[in-house]
């Protein structure tokens, strides 16, 4: 046969097993983690899609409410609110913190004022993104740490207002390793080389350092609720996440964009979901042009299906060349993950 590039190899499984192709969840779901603005759709998002069209997609997927993490602040927040007009009963906005101004003498007062203004306009949570630790620097030229004392007013204000902080601080462990033949995400990093954080010459924080500051941040702010995105930053190591949930009662995790990781360890994952059912929130990382993780999530949560793709059939998997298995959760656990935990944290009835 002719030579073939690895990127072209996409075998079809000949395995004959039961299949349950779910298009909706067993119970109406609250998606805690979506993007509707500048972060994923990008600037000019208002012209890219109509909220009514996105709402129809979500309705068809069984989603009755979702958090939009792209609220930003100030005029950007006003623009987002105007864009969503008429869908306030379906969407809860999260605002951002202007951490680029962390070295300013008035940072604390401005941050507090912005958060209170965002709350008055309907925001009920705060989004903090990995750009804080892996992109932004303070006036001294150092990358900003999330356990920096200068961020204490943000965490205190969040606790005062009852606004959970959904934080994305790290990416998959493989993104912090050299892009070599033994890196299991080498194809993904080849397509997105900017996702690699193995750049010693830049002085970026390593994965272990990020986990240390994540621990410090949660430990030092016990009155603040933290939802650590992407399954606590470490879906590859559920024992690590379990230790943190045991240690920090103010910590929760979401499932956004990590079904591929969880589904390849079904025995460990099922035990975890059963034990920590009150601390796990359903999230997908969906945005108006990409909602692929919903149906794979339903199948993962609700069935004992074996060796099925975590992305649409026929597509070469982007997060790793493996398939996943379902964990068949009982109804009481499904209800907690799909909507009860989110409604409790977001004070939504």
Measure the CA–CA gap between 308 and 2, rounded to whole angstroms.
29
Q: Which pLDDT belongs to residue 144?
A: 97
> Looking up tokens 């969840």, which residue turns up?
25
pLDDT mean over 289-297: 86
Specify the CATH superfamily of domain 18-345: Metal-dependent hydrolases (3.20.20.140)
> Looking up tokens 């298995």, which residue turns up?
325
Tell me the per-residue pLDDT of 236-271, one tens digit each, with 9 for 90 and over.
999 999 999 999 999 999 999 999 999 999 999 999
Name the band, by pLDDT with cuts 50, 70 and 90, for residue 1.
low
Tell me the per-residue pLDDT of 205-229, one tens digit each, with 9 for 90 and over.
999 999 999 999 999 999 999 999 9
Full-model pTM: 0.96
Tell me the per-residue pLDDT of 170-216, one tens digit each, with 9 for 90 and over.
999 999 999 999 999 999 999 899 999 998 888 899 999 999 999 99
Beta bridge partners of 83: none
Report which secondary-structure segment, H or E, holds 121.
none
Domain boundaries, the chain: 18-345
């Amino acid at each position: 046969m002719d030579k073939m590039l690895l990127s072209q190899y996409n075998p079809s499984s000949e395995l004959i097993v039961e299949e349950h192709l779910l298009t909706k969840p067993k119970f109406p779901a609250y998606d805690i983690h979506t993007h509707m603005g500048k972060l994923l759709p990008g600037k000019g998002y208002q012209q890219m899609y109509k909220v009514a069209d996105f709402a129809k997609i979500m309705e068809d997927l069984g989603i009755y409410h979702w958090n939009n993490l792209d609220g930003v602040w100030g005029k950007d927040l006003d623009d987002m609110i105007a864009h969503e007009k008429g869908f306030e009963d379906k969407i809860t906005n999260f605002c951002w913190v202007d951490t680029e101004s962390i070295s300013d003498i008035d940072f604390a007062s401005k941050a507090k004022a912005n958060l209170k203004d965002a709350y008055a306009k309907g925001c009920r949570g705060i989004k903090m993104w990995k750009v804080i630790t892996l992109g932004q620097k303070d006036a001294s030229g150092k990358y900003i740490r999330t356990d920096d004392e200068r961020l204490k007013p943000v965490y205190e204000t969040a606790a005062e207002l009852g606004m959970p902080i959904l934080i994305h601080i790290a990416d998959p462990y493989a993104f912090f390793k050299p892009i070599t033949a033994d890196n299991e995400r080498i194809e993904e990093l080849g397509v997105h080389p900017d996702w690699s954080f193995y750049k010693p010459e830049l002085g970026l924080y390593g994965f272990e350092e990020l986990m240390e500051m994540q621990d410090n941040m949660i430990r030092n702010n016990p009155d603040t609720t933290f939802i650590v995105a992407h399954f606590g930053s470490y879906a590859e190591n559920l024992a690590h996440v379990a230790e943190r949930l045991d240690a920090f009662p103010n910590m929760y995790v979401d499932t956004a964009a990590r079904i591929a990781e969880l589904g390849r360890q079904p025995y460990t994952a099922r035990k975890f979901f059963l034990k920590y059912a009150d601390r796990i929130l359903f999230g997908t990382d969906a945005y108006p042009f990409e909602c692929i993780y919903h149906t794979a999530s339903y199948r993962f949560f609700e069935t004992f299906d074996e060796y099925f793709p975590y992305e649409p059939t026929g597509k070469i998997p982007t997060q790793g060349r493996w398939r996943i298995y379902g964990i068949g959760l009982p109804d009481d656990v499904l209800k907690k993950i799909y909507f009860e935990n989110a409604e409790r944290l977001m004070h939504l009835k």
